[in-house]
Structure 1
Amino acid sequence: MALRRRALLFLLLLPMFRYRILAVELYSTNVNPIVQEFRRAELSCIITTTKTLSPRIEWKKIGSKETTYVYFDSKLQGDWANRAELNSRTSLIIHNVTRADKGIYRCEVVAKEDARIGAEININLTVHVKPVAPKCRVPQSVPVGKSATLHCQEKEGFPEPTYRWYRNDETLPLDSKTNSKFQNSSFTVNPKTGTLVFSEVQKGDTGRYSCKATNAVGDAWCEALEMEIYDLNIAGIVGGVMVVLAVLLLTTVGICCAYRKGLFVKKKQNGNSYKTPAKPDGVNYIRTDEEGDFRHKSSFVI
């Protein structure tokens, strides 16, 4: 009875064994390779079983909008022709990897003599990029008691870097309250955004501030910038305001007094004033008691 059961089980599993033997299968030693930019990347694709002596091999880069051939018709395509090669017939090696090479690559094998003639495997290539010098923004001067925010940002590195701030080359904690050495300060550091925020700056916060961006590949610094904390002269400001108000008040009083005294009113001309009429050239006029009117001089030439 037991022998019959074993024989029946073997007959049931025999088609599965036969299918497995005749099917092309692929394997990868690393489906998620991570490499540093400008290094060498190996995309492993290995044929484990096939009865086809010369299967057709293709590599494609799968994009969100389009698919690009890397290896097709037994030739490397495009930019990969100058910096890529096949290794052990199916694996793909890319030299001088750039950040543009990151993405999903598909290895496809077609074996016409196998029962299952096609197989494929996806390789997700990640390229790590070292950070470049971050851009830092530091206020030059801030009055005591006011808030201040310092910025540090870098956009090239991958994975995204974390940030650390320094004052006079000394590392600042993420929170000034956690370190007794900085108990007279009131700041917090956000390592993800790169911001250093002071709620109320003090004289002791004066110094040269620099920032470092770090990821799995390396780090980079920004140039140190000076921030000066100065005392706000309240008495001087109040005194200056009072002087300005006093000047304005005296000016106003002076103008009012001038108006009252009539210094800004023009005098009217006398209505009986006589203006001698203009005389034509070459004519003189005289008046006698007898005639009671004007007559020409004897020198007048007609």
Structure 2
Amino acid sequence: MPSGPAPPLPCKSVSAPAPRSSVPPRAASRASALPPPGPSASEESAAPDPAKMARRSRHRLLLLLLRYLVVALDYHKAYGFSASKDHQVVTAIEYQEVILACKYPKKTISSRLEWKKLGRSVSFVYYQQALQGDFKDRAEMIDFSIRIKNVTRNDAGKYRCEVSAPSEQGQNLEEDTLTLEVLVAPAVPSCEVPSSALRGTVVELRCQDKEGNPAPEYTWFKDGIRLLENPKLGSPSANSSYTMNTKSGTLQFNTVSKLDSGEYSCEARNSVGHSRCPGKRMQVDDLNISGIIAAVVVVALVISVCGLGVCYAQRKGYFSKETSFQKSSSASKATAMSENDFKHTKSFII
């Protein structure tokens, strides 16, 4: 048999298996039952909604504030800013020594120190490695602290020290705040004591000091003897009708009597010192003799002035009846004679 190519085999068409649907038949039937999706709200109206725009602007503002807050926190971390939480209160007596201490761990060559006095306006106390103002002559530096040799009441107030030094994270800034309170002894108080009073009336004595700090308390003395704050605790013979206020410095007699006559002085006292005004005498009488004498003198002066005026008028003749009558009669005669002369002249001409 002759050899030749083998006849080709018949081709069969193989169909690919259909992909399985991931949607169950029931879900597919339900989805086919749903209506087709409608147009979105943005497609319905192209005009912007004011409420949505306001919400978006608020969100943007909030995000901007958060960013600033994060930047500020990073800044404080980088520069190491810190403030002392303990507020110091330093107390000193006037004209004595005081030290304003700045709480900082260590002083280095590269650290920079500033002291400021706070108030309505901030003023430098220590700046550029030198004391400022009147602190030059009465203060000195001890590391970061200030030693005031002769403190005055004008130095009282709030102070702040600021220390800045370079660090690995950047510039390190620390500050400490304190308050200086200056205690002042009271000066000589001003005392108001009436020189005289009428028996049975209400009399008030006043005492006041404006310089003491803390505010002083007041005590009254009569003839050098201290008056009790509660007069009922004293002797029965003494007058117990007065009221003493140690805070305001008043001494009031509800019904003053002759027993209250004497020399009164007042003392102002606080924790720093005390001072007393010179004594002044108060005289209590049944009648106001000094007032009566003054009234009599005034009346006598008025009467004497009136009498001198009358004498002067009489000398000038203002009150004489004869002179006034003579003046009037002479005037009438003069007018009569002038009329007669006029008539005689007229008849003579005719």
Q: Secondary structure at the match of 2:88?
A: coil
Distance 2:234 2:272 in 1: 29
Report how many aligned residue pairs link the two structures. 223
Counterparts of 2:83 and 2:333, CA distance in 1: 124
Report the CA distance between 1:228 and its aligned residue: 0.9
Q: Match for residue 175 of structure 2?
A: 120
1-structure distance, mates of 2:159, 2:110: 22
Q: Which of 133, 145, 148 is the aligned partner of 1:78?
A: 133
- Give the equivalent residue in structure 1 for 2:117: 61
Equivalent residue number for residue 248 of structure 2: 193
In 2, are the aligned partners of 1:27 and 1:47 still within 8 Å (CA)? no
User: Is this contact kept in 1: 2:202–2:255, CA < 8 A?
Assistant: yes
Q: Which has the higher strand share?
A: 1
Identity of aligned residues (%): 39
- Cα distance in 2 between the residues matched to 1:229 and 1:31: 55
- 2:207 & 2:124 partners in 1: Cα distance? 40
In 1, the alpha carbon distance for the partners of 2:198 and 2:266 equals 23
- The residue number in structure 1 matching 2:272 is 217
Residues 93, 23 of structure 1: CA spacing in aligned structure 2 closer, same or farther, 3 A cutoff? same
- For residues 164 and 229 of structure 2, the distance between their equivalents in structure 1, rounded to whole angstroms, comes to 56
Q: Which amino acid aligns with 2:150?
A: N
Gaps of 5+ in 2: 1-75, 293-320, 326-331, 338-350
Deviation sequence 1:200-257 (CA, Å, 0-9, x none): 0011111110000111110111000101111139xxx9xxxxxxxxxxxxxxxxxxxx
**Within-5 A mapping of 1:114-193:** 115=169, 117-181=172-236, 184-193=239-248
Higher helix proportion: 2
Q: 1:105 to 1:31 in 2, by over 3 A?
A: same
Q: Which residue of 1 aligns with 2:147?
A: 93
Equivalent residue letter for 2:117: K
Q: Which has the larger radius of gyration?
A: 2
Structure 1 position 98, deviation (Å): 1.0
- Aligned partners of 1:90 and 1:184: how far apart in 2? 62
In 2, Cα distance between equivalents of 1:114 and 1:72: 25
- Cα 1:85–1:30 change in 2 (3 A) is farther
Call closer, same or farther: CA 1:154–1:114 in 2, change over 3 Å.
farther
Quote the RMSD (CA, aligned, Å). 3.5
How many angstroms apart in 1 are the aligned matches of 2:168 and 2:242?
Answer: 68
Distance in 2, matches of 1:46 and 1:140, equals 59
**Deviation digits for residues 133-189 of structure 1, max 9, x if unmatched?**
111110111111111000111112212211100001111112323434465330111
CA-CA distance at 1:49 after TM superposition: 6.3
Residue 163 of structure 1 aligns to a residue whose secondary structure is strand
Aligned partners of 1:163 and 1:214 also within 8 Å: yes
Kindly state the Cα deviation for residue 48 of structure 1 after the two structures are TM-superposed: 2.2
TM-score under structure 1 normalisation?
A: 0.65
Further displaced range: 95-104 or 105-114: 105-114
State the TM-score, normalizing by the size of structure 2. 0.57
Q: 1:79 to 1:278 in 2, by over 3 A?
A: same
Aligned to 2:92: 35
Unaligned runs of 5+ residues in structure 1 are 1-18, 238-264, 269-273, 280-302
* TM-aligned CA deviation for residue 276 of structure 1: 10
In the alignment, the residues of structure 2 paired with residue 117 and residue 277 of structure 1 have an alpha-carbon distance, to the nearest angstrom, of 120
Q: How far apart are the structure 1 equivalents of 2:153 and 2:201?
A: 43
